[in-house]
Amino acid sequence: MFAIETMALTKQYGNRAAVKNLGMQVREGEIYGFIGRNGAGKSTTLKMLSGLAQPTAGEVRLFGKPVSDPAVRRRLGVLIEAAGLYPRMSARQNAMMKAKCMGLADEEAVDTVLEKTGLLETGKKKVRHFSMGMKQRLGVALALLGNPDLLILDEPINGLDPEGIREFRELLGELKEEGKTILISSHILGELSKISTGYGIIKDGELIEQITREELEEKCQDYFQIQVQDITRAVPVLEEAFPGIVAEVMDKESIRIYGAEDGAGVNRVLVEHQIPVCASGFHRMDLEDYFLERMEGGSRNV
């Protein structure tokens, strides 16, 4: 069953479509990395998923029900943009106020979320004296109140130092083990790749790809890249000499070759055909490279 499903989800601001016909499926128990450049439509999408913005067209369903259903809303925890903290209150006072607004009277639940996010020992320290990373952690703690089944987190690791990012990564792993579904957006793609089990890439308001971790790792193959002066001659020569390879033209001088094991042999064949090689070498596309290529318009193997 899908924890999140959207059908032709669209948000129009005047003549500009911030989100266009978006169809997203997030399975229960998944950590779904939501990726896109600034202005691509991430935050607008997350607001519609959370019921904080009304779609112009289309539909959002959470656990098979409309996002407007009160029973579904109680299963949802959200951190989008600023957490709406009271700067003159402590972390615990902020959490208690949020808990009371939710109808929760269990102080132990407040201490539990503060402990999970590393804020239990902040005592009476006021939020206005918190670092940005501490404020982010408090925002996540507030989102965890009520023990939601689905968490929607917009850039939650902004402002965290490396140790804080590691702790947050461990926290998400624990929440996944508890069976929670997590939709998380982040610009720190290297970290996102360590925790996500699936991904969605949004560009100019359109979801251009959804892909599982396994599919992504399969696409991130080793390749041999060469830079030549005559690319129009080089490709057919290589494909004839090495029938098992896939040669992809990257620009007017560069070719990526997938399936080549003998880099020296590739260079030798080109030189024998009087095609000068300016540079060559083996590379591995990591997950961040793949995301950047897709967001910049690449379509390899899609």
Per the prediction, the chain carries an average pLDDT of 88
**CA-based nearest residue to 113, from 149, 74, 147, 76:** 147
How far is it, in rounded angstroms, from Cα 20 to Cα 11?
7
**DSSP-derived 3-state class of residue 82:** coil
Which residues, 6+ apart, have CB-to-CB distance to 155 below 8 Å?
Answer: 185, 186, 187
Question: Is the pLDDT reported for residue 99 higher than 60?
Answer: yes
| pTM more than 0.75 | yes
Coil/strand/helix, residue 39: coil
pLDDT value of position 38: 86
Structure tokens at 264: 């020296």
In the structure, how many helices (H) and strands (E) does the chain have?
A: 11, 15
At 227, phi and psi to the nearest 5? -120, 120
Compute the distance between CA of residue 54 and CA of residue 249 in angstroms, rounded to an integer: 43
Distance of CA 19 to the CA centre of its chain: 17
For 4-45, the pLDDT digits (tens) are 999 999 999 998 999 999 999 999 999 999 998 888 999 999
Q: What is the pLDDT of residues 114-156, one digit of tens each?
A: 998 889 999 899 999 998 888 888 999 999 999 999 999 998 8
